[in-house]
Amino acid sequence: MISRRQFLISSAIAAGSWPLRSYAWLPKTVSTLAELTPAIAPEDFASFVNPFLGTAGHGHMYPGATVPFGAVQLSPDTGNLNWDECSGYHQNTNEPDSQILGFSHTHLSGTGCGDMLDVLITPGLGAGVPGKFQFSHGEEFAEPGFYKVTSKNGIRVELTATERAGFHRYTFPKKAVVSIAVDLDHHFGDGSVEVDGGSLLVMGNDGLMGGRTVHAWADGRQIYFALKTSKPFMAANFASGSKRKINLQFHVEAGESVLLKLGISAVDVNGAQLNLNTEIPDWNFNRVRSAAREAWNRELSRIQVQTNDLAQKQIFYTALYHTMLAPTLFDDVDGRYRGMDHQIHQLQPGEHNYSTFSLWDTFRALHPLFTIMHPERVPNFVNTLIRMSQESRAGLPVWPLQGIETGCMTGYHSVSVIAEAAVKGFPGLNLDAAYSKMHQRAFEDDYQGLDSYRELGYVAANQESESASKTLEYCYNDWAISRVARILGNDSDAEILENRSRNFKNLFDSSTNFIRARNSDGRWVTPFNPLEIGHKPNERDYTEANAWQTSFGILHDPAGLIEAFGGREIFIEKLDLLFNQSSALPPDMPPDITGMVGQYAHGNEPCHHVAYLYNYAGQPYKTQARVSELLRDMYQAKLDGLPGNEDCGQMSAWYIMSAMGFYAVDPASGNYVFGSPIFDRVEIAIPDGKALIFEAVRKTINDIYIQSITMNGKAYTKTWFSHGDVMDGARFVFQMGATPNPAYGSSVDDAPPSIPPLHLLVSR
């Protein structure tokens, strides 16, 4: 397993608290978007999105132009070396002036590891190769599908995009010879990253083609492009000693614009050319910009919130925007794609292939959100993962990026995503093919400690790094695979896997009430400090966490965890302690451990379900208090407004689901657990013209506690609901109050089920 930090060795810049700048993204006036439902008046939802949110701090976001789930992310690169530049862009809000290396076409959304930044283009005045683009952040503007900036010397850059192509408009301030450099050597990382196997080919006096192979995080990924200019260039000069850097020269009048459009492909230059010609057949920049905004408005309008809190509305729609920046499209318009076997494959009509699955993060909330908000995309996402498992020598996907398995993070949570979609009854899934690979991994593969997990009931610390965390991840993977086994009628496999999913108890030390690592001889590793990431320097027992955080890391069997603690009272006492500890951490903790409340770390995904565990122990009012606190404190309408890395939409998906009033603690169960809704009304459009509605009746914003719930007009006492309960539409009404109602949800019968029986939503 390659951790995010092992790949990118760089010291993290300490997080700061920075003021919000006055950007021109604030809500505009009216829109022409058709009303989705009769409940809320039409709105220009894109006007509430701030693409700069998360570009400071440790959010690792980029502000550039893209469309929902698009293959192209055309954005400025302010740096390509440091950890906080993983997306290619980072703001230090104490420095209003900065520099841009150029504008590249692919970027990662909030990851903890860097790559991409393909095909850098930089404009400049004069015949020489353009240098760094000097600018002030006050001259930037961004909205969904569009980015603009003006340089210190007066060059205005405007960017927009389609799914597989980027569109540039450069307007020059004076009559001059100007240059536009195209750089295929540019990448994320230092000199140890190799770029090879490609070159630039000049096509007449208005075109370029080229490609390259990059040996970075995704080692060996291939990218090709085709470029056209709106006017002929006077000269095309290769940089000295390079076949992958070229400088195009133009003569322009004052105020004249030069446009470039560029298609990308992972297949070949012909695919890039076809993508470009199909998606941007003309030179109408404003049409493409408008189409991108319309695409965002269509997607954002799927969830409509009603509130008087403008800041929360801005945070909500920006978060919703973030949830649609990954996975990214990874096929050409003709259905060809490059597989995990490096071969070119052909999709059937209506199918799509995707990339950029940060599965260790996103199986928790992003993919559950997709099953509600984007049901039409789920089969393509899932079948992509199944195809990857068949094509890749690594088997089941872990963190696939552009046809390459990075092997990043613990567990193999493609099975979690596949199982959730299967349990929720999504059609057209190739489950037989999926289960073949699942069975192989669970029962046969020698994969990162699975041998000792199968033999001992846990991963042995003296045999495998991060053994405690891996044990818990494999428990959940077993649980997820057992769901698919049940669906396929493999009940004997399912029973074995369900039993194995309780293996976390083998690492529960009842003398300390912590999950601890132990060696193959059964002895606990020592010394033990619940604040440490491992028992010795360079010997990690936990993955980006410590014992405090990991000991609550059970998603599918909280009742079993409560039993291990010794009952509800002891469990709640320990859970209270988690949130009320000192937030101090050892110096060797990864920089991901942020967003601290006691030893709870909201800035990293293993904690994301923890506040909801009070529901399982009969005190849901404590979940309501904690979730309300996290929603208000961890997410802000400012540049460093995220509590940690965005991680391809997971950080924002937690906010989206929690703000609506529920969360998927155990995605593979098909169930959701109630929290505390912050909006007066939320309406989610679901297929066949139906809607899922959540209403909160309260007097003030301080009414955060659920007093009672009705579902479709009938009293509802459970603290959870299933996907099947709402797939045909439903209306929940929460009566809220300023003080807890200890009676609500206190009954064992009203608690969410642990290791629940399988209830399929549709027959297979």
**3-class secondary structure per residue, 572-601:** HHHHHHHHHCCCCCCCCCCCCCCCEECCEE
Q: What is the pLDDT of residues 314-357, one digit of tens each?
A: 999 999 999 999 999 999 999 999 999 999 999 999 999 999 99
Rounded to an integer, the average pLDDT of 376-397 is 97
Residues in the chain: 764
Beta bridge mates, 731? 693
Rounded to an integer, the average pLDDT of 124-142 is 94
Rounded to an integer, the average pLDDT of 189-212 is 93
| CA gap 764, 762 in Å, rounded | 6
Q: What angle do CA 504, 507, 509 make, to 5 degrees?
A: 125
Q: What percent of the chain stands above pLDDT 70? A: 94
* pTM of the predicted model as reported, rounded to 2 decimal places: 0.94
Does position 6 have pLDDT exceeding 80, yes or no? no
Does position 633 have pLDDT exceeding 90, yes or no? yes
| CA gap 404, 356 in Å, rounded | 10
Q: What is the pLDDT of residues 449-497, one digit of tens each?
A: 999 999 999 999 999 999 999 999 999 999 999 999 999 999 999 999 9
Lowest average pLDDT, out of 5-14, 39-48, 140-149, goes to: 5-14
Q: Give 380's pLDDT tier (boundaries 50, 70, 90).
A: very high
490 sits in the region (left: phi over 0; alpha: psi -120 to 50; else beta) called beta
More confident residue, 539 or 329: 329
Is residue 234 within 8 A of residue 242, CB to CB? The reply is no
CA 707, 708, 709, 710 torsion-angle sign: negative
Q: Give 93's pLDDT tier (boundaries 50, 70, 90).
A: confident
More confident residue, 627 or 97: 627
Give the containing element (helix H, strand E) for 383.
helix 378-391
Q: Which whole-number Å values give the CA distances from 169 to 142, 160, 173, 681, 719, in the listed order?
A: 15, 9, 13, 41, 53
Give the containing element (helix H, strand E) for 410.
none
> Closest Cα partner for 188 from 223, 214, 224?
214
Does position 35 have pLDDT exceeding 50, yes or no? no
Work out the number of other CB atoms within 10 angstroms of the CB of residue 199: 14
Q: Give 558's pLDDT tier (boundaries 50, 70, 90).
A: very high
Q: What angle do CA 366, 367, 372 make, to 5 degrees?
A: 100
Lowest average pLDDT, out of 126-130, 155-159, 610-614, 633-637, goes to: 126-130
Q: How is the beta sheet containing 730-737 ordered, strand by strand?
A: 303-306, 681-686, 690-697, 730-737, 705-711, 714-715
Q: Give 94's pLDDT tier (boundaries 50, 70, 90).
A: confident
Does position 99 have pLDDT exceeding 50, yes or no? yes
Does position 434 have pLDDT exceeding 60, yes or no? yes
What is the separation of C-alpha 698 from the centre of its chain, rounded to a whole number of angstroms? 32
Rounded to an integer, the average pLDDT of 161-177 is 98
> Closest Cα partner for 513 from 499, 502, 528?
528
pLDDT at 760: 55
Residue ranges covered by each domain of the chain: 4-304
Just give the CATH number of 4-304. 2.70.98.10
pLDDT at 2: 52
Q: What is the pLDDT of residues 682-713, one digit of tens each?
A: 999 999 999 999 999 999 999 999 999 999 99
Sheet strands (E) in 162-218:
165-171, 176-183, 194-196, 200-203, 207-215
